[in-house]
Amino acid sequence: MSNQIWYHVDVNAAFLSWTAAREVHIKGSGVDLRRMAAVIGGSEKDRHGIVLAKSDRAKAFGIKTGESLVEARNKCPGLIIVPPDYELYVSCSRGLIRLLETYCPYVHQYSIDEAFCCMSGTETLFGSPVVFARQLKDEIRETLGFTVNIGVSDQKLLAKMASGFEKPDKVHTLFREEIQKKLWPLPVNRLFWVGRAAAGKLRNLGIRTIGQLANADLELLKVHLKKHGEYIWHYANGRDPSPFLRQLPENKGYGNSMTVPFDVRDAHRARQVILSLTETVCARLRADHMKASCVSISITDREFGRSSAQKTLYSETDATLEIYHQACSVFESLWDGSPIRQLGVHTGRVVSHAPYQYNLLGTDCNEKFTKLDAAADAIRKNTGRTPDAGVIFKESPSSYGRRN
């Protein structure tokens, strides 16, 4: 075992868990969505959108993240569909990160519902890293009202793989000496960055398990999967030469990215993902009383090709629909039609609330968009919840400090 100790903390069915925890612990509902055939993913009234999160009972019907609500309803006619609440998700995510920062010297938030924690050198404070991971997992459940999986390893990649083992509410280890026993027997599609298309190509090569991939001929993989094949061959062997799990330089802006569990092949589906990301980004801007005047889009395709572009806005704004429309414009000029595995929406040139510069030469919808956002924020505030609400679900005697 190396001197490095990493945790990967992953919220179980995050959007659904956070919604369920609010209903149970704040509103006192006797109905827990986590125990029902339920998904997060659009309006019950108009039946649009995609599945963003699913319960275990919904999963039992064959419902998958990323499929349309129409497909999900066909599999389970009595499916409960709850629309997303991105400000709730931002608030819950912040609560989780604050709790982790109470114990962890270094926290790298990888996405809204997962984070890496470097625990190296904390053994003298907390004892066994595995035993403490179980204590931390239990505190998250008791304090915040939702469950997480924690993967424990001597490197980030293996910690992330470990957190994806049996769920929910579990701690798993995957140290380098455990790779052959725990990782190699798994189906190849369980490996980080191996999606349906890559798994299909590997199956055509006779590669069905991660162990078979680890022992495959690298040059053959590069012929069929190019750079992607090289990366996943290293992943299967417990090495991570890629940039995808690294901490990005500190950004003077707000952004969010999503690795989608399916290949995005059409603009309509891509815009749905962009809207989800923009909702989260703008909720953070408004919660921090900031506005942005630059929007950028980043795309990683199925072959690990990466591209990005940005656009300067006419004026600083925190309006969800305005930033969404501009993000879509950037996306349409950037995307070459290649299947997408990861999308990111980022904002820059942020300032604290500034007056909006109206465009007198064209139709300006900022005021309308701002009113819509203000109405949504007011509804949430009247329910007793704000985007910056420290402890989200249950009171903790000692967990949270002030946000910097």
Catalytic positions = 114
* Residue 369 to residue 96: CA distance in whole angstroms: 30
Burial 109-131 (b: 16+ CB within 10 A, else e): bbebbbbbbbbeebeeeeeebee
Contacts of 94 (CB under 8 A, 6+ apart): 388, 403
Burial pattern 241-264, b for ≥16 Cβ within 10 A else e, equals ebebbeeeeeeebbbbbbbbebbb
Cα distance between residue 9 and residue 11, in whole Å: 7
CA 209 – CA 391 distance, rounded (Å): 42
DSSP string covering 74-129:
HH-TT-EEE---HHHHHHHHHHHHHHHHHH-SEEEEEETTEEEEE-TT-HHHH--H
314 burial level (CB within 10 Å; 0-12, 13-18, 19+) = middle
Fill in the DSSP letter of residue 182.
I
Q: What is the DSSP letter of 187?
A: B
Q: At what angle do helices 129-144 and 86-103 cross, to 10 degrees?
A: 140
**Pick from 239, 235, 205: which is nearest to 221 by CA?**
205
36: nearest Cα among 76, 84, 93: 76
> Cα dist. 56→126, 128, 138, 279 in Å?
33, 31, 20, 26
Would you call 3 exposed, middle or buried from its count of C-beta atoms within 10 A (0-12, 13-18, 19+)?
exposed
Contact 41, 49 (CB under 8 A): yes
